[in-house]
Structure 1
């Protein structure tokens, strides 16, 4: 059975892409090496199969350690290396540039995630949304969902990009207006790397308040066809990786996946049965030595039906079946990019179109022969274009700038019950909305004192034709300043001060009242603003490890506040299926602050180790009369106070890998129910869920939540193919996470709600214990790569 493979690549200068000859490229931790020729090309044979890294230490250049990459016996791994010229005396100690190093553009709050971490993270099942839940400042909830909750911000405050193209919908079964979902629709097999920013966002990436995820796809194989089959406990998939042209300059990378979660959930006796499909592709073509063109696509088709065939459902199952609608969703993103490289920099142009369709419907008593009580049909889409230029040296400065624009469209037809003014009524409206948007951004940066001190100044401006409050980009001016100082060879102090703006969700922008008026436009809806203040110190003893401490303070303003319950539209429990489709005003204020401690080591005795602890506060201002701000702050839904993550992934001999992750999250705040309102027959019939007592908003707190996930992988390498097996177990010791008790009406033998004889017009109510987490979830999988 083959145990080695081959690695090849090209060594160039990072500033001008010129080939560099005579550079020795070594396998990290080994004596194997290759030397670049006159074209910068190198070749290393007999490299052990599995994940590896390369190391370069050449006179006159900063040392470099590459991201980890996979070596197989059946194909040659391609790894290109860019070197930075050293501008300090050779006697000084210089830490190698590594995947853990910060950048001038984002000296704080940026985490690089390589393919090995994505593949092996326990409990994540190669889902990028779950992988980043191990990062400092990111909350993992007891409910197994993909909501990315960063530094006390809501799930609708994050933005996602794939090869520079915005991805509005990242997850299957997404909550419209709030992101989240149950599984990522991005196939991580097709990714090269991920940069996850929790602050100091690059100016080219707009519209985010809490995080930006920059995902980069790899190109297809230029020499031969490759395929991969994946068979897991909940889904199956197939990947294609092939040259399209004879010379290998045009390649195709593609995948298709389909779940059979409905079978697993039916066996587990869950009240909902989801099925999802997704596809992803990249067609890339090298037009010449300096030009590249690519097409990408990403899409999904999802269907979630109710498990009405449950025999003798318990109260928890009855509750979910009572309020949850059935759901059909579809989404797509198609984009094209052109990159032209020249000696002084590069030009990139991207164009894209995306669309998201969401249909929710529910019948009386879940009987499809009866009328629908909920009939919600919506579609939103965007057309976008952006051009940016990067100049590596303008009078010693690095300049990046660009412009962009496009259009947004939103259609919504809603028929649903509502309880207002003590009356049960049917809310009906049809909304059609189209508007233009535009953006402008620029950054100027420079490194001083032999690259020990760096400064970046940036500016971004956004606007839309939606309303007079949002059309002037000067009102959404986003300045930013990043500083970094390497005050000792292995010690760095960094800081960032910035303001960010985010467009309100389509659900709020397109909401109309019963007369057809865009009521939120009339209410002066504006961009949401957030000011970030971040500072930290990092100690980097070698290219494999990093210890850091970071403090952050986020200040929110102009947050949309619901005129129904006086709460910011980002709040709401995990049972919500849309967020923001209510009348609002942009008067909300908030703050989130805390400190993060982190230790990462990508090669500690052949083990990848990550440890992080975050202490945070997340609060919103409690509005007074007429929604005027007050001096009182109350906990937001994400004010968990403590987040602890400990993970280790060890590589044993014979291609065995074992990983474990333990994490703890402090108790989430919750709001007690309004018993009187919830028990009213009209109120309950409209919502099929209890109402909250907002006078006691988030005045109570759940218990802390913790969980242990483990994963074992075994791989067999053959001459022309690769076989993998894995077992992943979430919540190994079966910790039961108790949620807020359910308040619901009592039912008689026929399943009908029981009226309260002591209170006419009310139901008799009861409380039911509600576990929001606690299931041991094992997953088995087989992969065949050929």
Structure 2
């Protein structure tokens, strides 16, 4: 290719990208897919109406709809269908340029009544959801974008929800999610049904928080937070389960956007790859290091992240999804032009970090006569390298206080089935995980102590571990629910069991038998009362499981018992209108088998809100704890 041809090709490419960013200044478009919430079957003939303007359409045989030539602005979208409860999406912001794509789930009317006029959220007294009838909160893309101070960071916005707090030890700038008194490590995250262990840059190994979220808000359709009464399909959760639902790519045309904020630049594109395949892709780059250099700050945080989703409609009943998310993080230091005590503290209080992580997964979903099944295969890796010295600007090996070189990888295979029959909803499934963990760790826990004459009184206390652990994790679950008493009472019960073949942990799944039950009763069209009880288990961090402990001249592994938590929750819900909701909940959580440091006597539940890693120390697992409180929430669409 000649230079002239290459120049023409590059100019054409730049022109196409710019046209994607500033496309169509006049009108906007909205498209989507309407499905049954329980069976995921597409709903043809559903009525879709957009207000204001009363512009509407109906879905085709595949449940798809599209509205074009819309004026940009904020709308309310109502979707209704025969034998289904209508659903309204408020505050739907539609802009020019990019077409908004939605997936809308409708819930079937279990009990048909004569002479009922359907309007709003409820047409008769009916219990709430069979799965997790309480302790549920939801966020939409617009909620995240509109949150003051959130800076389009999903993790930061989550911290503003009732019962959710941020990390105290690491400072208010961190995204440590602390729910109802639990540790940051007690939460699990699912992205389109694939577990994603890392959702923050500069993540604390063994915990999960970090100063900046990885997930791109442009990908997210909504976020569901369950802070109790977890569905039995989710393992390793003690405080919460987050379900992030991503949008599908636009099937009609290629589109994109470019976002520039005070800390980063991000580019997002989506569109069709073929007749039956769509994609979403994004890349984000921080420029904090340049900003901090201009401000003469000694720290240099730097990160990249990438996100991808493809959706292939193999046929009317089979869908194949691929997701990917990855991050590259670097935290280093530089000399300041003007040294101050504050700047020197900033240099020496944190380690230098080189970290990368990724999750990639593929799922195959097949619709059946009464439901569907899912088969998912995924792999995730965290590579964590960190160093800290007494003087990070002038590192001396004899003055090193922290060294971490660790990699943990999980290969996961999940299969689950959901069926609906005779008013029952039944789900069951199993999971197997192959874990590969390598760890080289050293930390000076206590500096050497000298007397007034400079004589050594006590040597430095250094803990170190050079280990690897490869083992298998496995588990299974069943969950069933049904509405009775003219649909006023919803009952749901589940059972889960988990185990692993690590020698210092538990291989018998019956030892981690995890029952849970919940009930919701509709007192009237506007009032519901709910309650739940459950026992939940979590495997300790890999850093703890693989740490070799020197006791009385012998080398033994840390204990690896599953951490146990018992939840009791009760609450009341009041729905005065279609758009307003009040909830009042009381909760009680009791912990046992919690790891406690043998070095300082502090529970690991109270660690993990700082950079580096936790669990790399000798522990005992006899910690106990309680958390209880009352939450009040008022939400308005």
Shorter-chain TM-score: what band? 0.7 to 0.9
Q: Which of 46, 55, 70 is the equivalent residue of 2:78?
A: 55
Residue of structure 2 in register with 1:365 after alignment = 391
Contact 1:173 1:329 in 2 (8 A): yes
Q: Which of 545, 556, 561 is the equivalent residue of 1:519?
A: 556
Residue of structure 1 in register with 2:50 after alignment = 27
1:165 is the counterpart of 2:194: yes
Measure how far apart 1:364 and its partner are: 5.5
Contact 2:129 2:490 in 1 (8 A): no
- For the residue of structure 2 that corresponds to 1:223, the secondary structure is coil
Residue of structure 2 in register with 1:744 after alignment = none
Inter-partner Cα distance in structure 1 for 2:40 and 2:505: 45
Measure how far apart 1:238 and its partner are: 1.1
Residue of structure 2 in register with 1:545 after alignment = 580
Contact 1:174 1:180 in 2 (8 A): yes
Taking a change above 3 Å as real, the CA distance of residues 310 and 592 of structure 1, as seen in their structure-2 partners, is farther
1:587 is the counterpart of 2:622: yes
Measure how far apart 1:590 and its partner are: 0.3
Taking a change above 3 Å as real, the CA distance of residues 9 and 127 of structure 1, as seen in their structure-2 partners, is closer
Residue of structure 2 in register with 1:382 after alignment = 410
Measure how far apart 1:593 and its partner are: 0.3
Q: How big is each residue's C-alpha offset from its partner over 1:592-630, in whole Å with a ceiling of 9 and x where there is no partner? A: 00001110101xxxxxxxxxxxxxxxxxxxxxxxxxxxx
1:134 is the counterpart of 2:160: yes
Contact 1:535 1:550 in 2 (8 A): yes
- For the residue of structure 2 that corresponds to 1:593, the secondary structure is strand
Contact 2:539 2:560 in 1 (8 A): no
Taking a change above 3 Å as real, the CA distance of residues 416 and 45 of structure 1, as seen in their structure-2 partners, is closer
Q: Which of 513, 527, 530 is the equivalent residue of 1:477?
A: 513
Q: Which of 323, 329, 337 is the equivalent residue of 2:355?
A: 329
Residue of structure 2 in register with 1:255 after alignment = 282
1:598 is the counterpart of 2:625: no
Taking a change above 3 Å as real, the CA distance of residues 547 and 130 of structure 1, as seen in their structure-2 partners, is same
Taking a change above 3 Å as real, the CA distance of residues 512 and 72 of structure 1, as seen in their structure-2 partners, is same
1:344 is the counterpart of 2:370: yes
Q: Which of 322, 332, 335 is the equivalent residue of 1:308?
A: 335
Inter-partner Cα distance in structure 1 for 2:80 and 2:462: 70
Inter-partner Cα distance in structure 2 for 1:23 and 1:438: 42
Q: Which of 234, 250, 253 is the equivalent residue of 1:205?
A: 234
Taking a change above 3 Å as real, the CA distance of residues 309 and 132 of structure 1, as seen in their structure-2 partners, is same
Residue of structure 2 in register with 1:112 after alignment = 138
Match runs of 1:346-745 below 5 Å: 346-363=372-389, 365-367=391-393, 370-371=396-397, 373=400, 374-393=402-421, 395-419=422-446, 422-467=458-503, 469-513=505-549, 519-521=556-558, 524-572=559-607, 574-602=609-637
Q: How big is each residue's C-alpha offset from its partner over 1:225-251, in whole Å with a ceiling of 9 and x where there is no partner? A: 112111111111111212111x2x111
User: Structure 1: where are the runs of 5+ without partners?
Assistant: 603-786
Measure how far apart 1:514 and its partner are: 5.7
Coordinate RMSD, CA, aligned: 2.6
Residue of structure 2 in register with 1:72 after alignment = 95
Taking a change above 3 Å as real, the CA distance of residues 377 and 8 of structure 1, as seen in their structure-2 partners, is closer
Inter-partner Cα distance in structure 2 for 1:12 and 1:576: 43
Measure how far apart 1:292 and its partner are: 0.7
Taking a change above 3 Å as real, the CA distance of residues 92 and 369 of structure 1, as seen in their structure-2 partners, is closer
Inter-partner Cα distance in structure 2 for 1:144 and 1:497: 34
- For the residue of structure 2 that corresponds to 1:176, the secondary structure is coil
Q: How big is each residue's C-alpha offset from its partner over 1:230-276, in whole Å with a ceiling of 9 and x where there is no partner? A: 1111111111212111x2x1112111111111223344454422111
Measure how far apart 1:572 and its partner are: 3.3
Measure how far apart 1:566 and its partner are: 1.6
Residue of structure 2 in register with 1:670 after alignment = none
Taking a change above 3 Å as real, the CA distance of residues 327 and 14 of structure 1, as seen in their structure-2 partners, is closer
Q: How big is each residue's C-alpha offset from its partner over 1:100-154, in whole Å with a ceiling of 9 and x where there is no partner? A: x952101111111111111111111111111111111011456211010111111
Inter-partner Cα distance in structure 1 for 2:206 and 2:337: 31
Match runs of 1:168-247 below 5 Å: 168-245=197-274, 247=275
Residue of structure 2 in register with 1:294 after alignment = 321
Inter-partner Cα distance in structure 2 for 1:518 and 1:501: 27
Inter-partner Cα distance in structure 2 for 1:76 and 1:298: 23
Inter-partner Cα distance in structure 1 for 2:630 and 2:133: 16
Measure how far apart 1:43 and its partner are: 4.6
Q: Which is further off, 249-258 or 26-35? A: 26-35
Inter-partner Cα distance in structure 1 for 2:41 and 2:196: 33
Residue of structure 2 in register with 1:731 after alignment = none
Taking a change above 3 Å as real, the CA distance of residues 173 and 8 of structure 1, as seen in their structure-2 partners, is closer
Measure how far apart 1:451 and its partner are: 3.0
Taking a change above 3 Å as real, the CA distance of residues 302 and 14 of structure 1, as seen in their structure-2 partners, is closer
Contact 1:20 1:40 in 2 (8 A): yes
User: Structure 2: where are the runs of 5+ without partners?
Assistant: 1-23, 448-456
Q: Which is further off, 345-354 or 534-543? A: 534-543
Contact 1:511 1:518 in 2 (8 A): no
Residue of structure 2 in register with 1:685 after alignment = none
Measure how far apart 1:73 and its partner are: 3.7
Measure how far apart 1:415 and its partner are: 3.4
Residue of structure 2 in register with 1:89 after alignment = 113
Taking a change above 3 Å as real, the CA distance of residues 50 and 439 of structure 1, as seen in their structure-2 partners, is farther
- For the residue of structure 1 that corresponds to 2:145, the secondary structure is helix
TM-score, scaled relative to structure 2 = 0.87
Q: How big is each residue's C-alpha offset from its partner over 1:180-238, in whole Å with a ceiling of 9 and x where there is no partner? A: 10001111111122111111112111111111111122121212111211111111111
